[in-house]
Amino acid sequence: MTAPTYDVVAIGNAIVDILSSADDGFIAANGMTKGAMQLIFSPEDAGALYAKMGPGQEISGGSAANTIAGMATLGGKCAFIGQVADDQLGEVFAHDIRACGIRFDTAARSGAPTTGRCLIFVTPDGQRTMNTFLGASHYLPAEALDRDLIADAAYLYIEGYLWDPEEPRAAMRAAIDVAKAAGRKVAFTTSAEFVIDRHRADFHALIDAGLIDLMFANEAELMSLTATTDVETAIAAVAPKVETLVVTLSEQGALAMRGGERTTVAAEPIDAVVDTTGAGDLFAAGFLYGQTHGHDLEASLKLGAICAAEVISHVGARPMADLKLLVKAVLG
């Protein structure tokens, strides 16, 4: 097996985040669950909610795309596969991801629907409430996959958020087959509890078939996946089935399990939580960077904690500080 050219190639939703401040009253009045993510299924509903937003910021997002952006900031060599439309937001997304030094070759899709967008309301306590219209990202076909690219990356990274629509789900299944045939590893993030509720059987089938080498989940997601109310029971159920299980525990830090070895790290201290958007995505970025650059579990977890702390200290799900300098200051 030849050495890979890329550290990670990711497949995920190609979305532009639109962030605005809001108070708890606005969240309740518009039928949202604070701190959660809900899907918007029609462009009309997305437009109506957008019209209610205050002044906002447009920042390219998408869970796996955020992870890849964090890895690239750390110095990783990465590529992304995701579907945008041939419109202004599609151009914004493509520009932003390429500006990070990430290879992005997926051709834009003409016609409706528009490029996906996530309307994010950030309350004064830093919690983000997300409303996502997936738009064109629902239409990623298997034909759009660059199979040589996937085979040339140490890890294929896929997000649960993209598992809903049939077309990209088929594309991700095909990508897993390509990665496995090439002797590469597959990393998977469960994304959210509502995603697990829809696809629990599918996710268990992937895990039981040995197709997931590295799995990321927060404690609530892991308990949802295993239909338990105790995180330790959930860990015990999943850890033996994957090579590496990483569980984020919010302010309690994170842990990794591999071959019976359990490693934990504390959360990195910050002055204030401004916006939790992208915390899990950037944690995955740090951990994956560590794993693809020769670091052990503890150092990789530490890298994840550093990246997550940076992104929750400001608005937006992409890093603003020089992550290389932050990592050097903490790890030396």
How far apart are the C-alpha atoms of 248 and 221, rounded to whole Å? Answer: 10
pLDDT for 112 beyond 90: no
Q: Is domain 6-14+61-113+136-331 in CATH 3.40.640.10, yes or no?
A: no
pLDDT for 320 beyond 80: no
Q: Hey, CA dihedral for 73, 275, 67, 113, is it positive or negative? A: negative
- The single-letter DSSP state of residue 183 is T
pLDDT of residue 310: 87
pLDDT of residue 332: 67
pLDDT for 207 beyond 90: yes
Compute the average pLDDT of residues 226-245: 96
Domain-wise residue ranges, the chain: 6-14+61-113+136-331
Q: How far apart are the first and last CA of the chain?
A: 33
Q: How many CB atoms lie under 10 A from the CB of residue 87?
A: 19
pLDDT of residue 202: 95
Identify the band that residue 284 occupies on the pLDDT scale cut at 50, 70 and 90.
Answer: very high
| Nearest alpha-carbon partner for 66 in 129, 133, 8 | 8
Identify the band that residue 19 occupies on the pLDDT scale cut at 50, 70 and 90.
Answer: confident
Entry pTM? 0.90
pLDDT of residue 330: 67
Given the structure tokens 């338990």, which residue do they identify? 228
Compute the average pLDDT of residues 188-207: 94
pLDDT of residue 314: 76
pLDDT for 150 beyond 80: yes
Residues constituting the chain? 332
Q: Where are the beta strands (DSSP E) in 55-106?
A: 56-61, 78-81, 103-104
pLDDT of residue 17: 86
Average pLDDT taken over every residue of the chain: 92
pLDDT of residue 39: 84
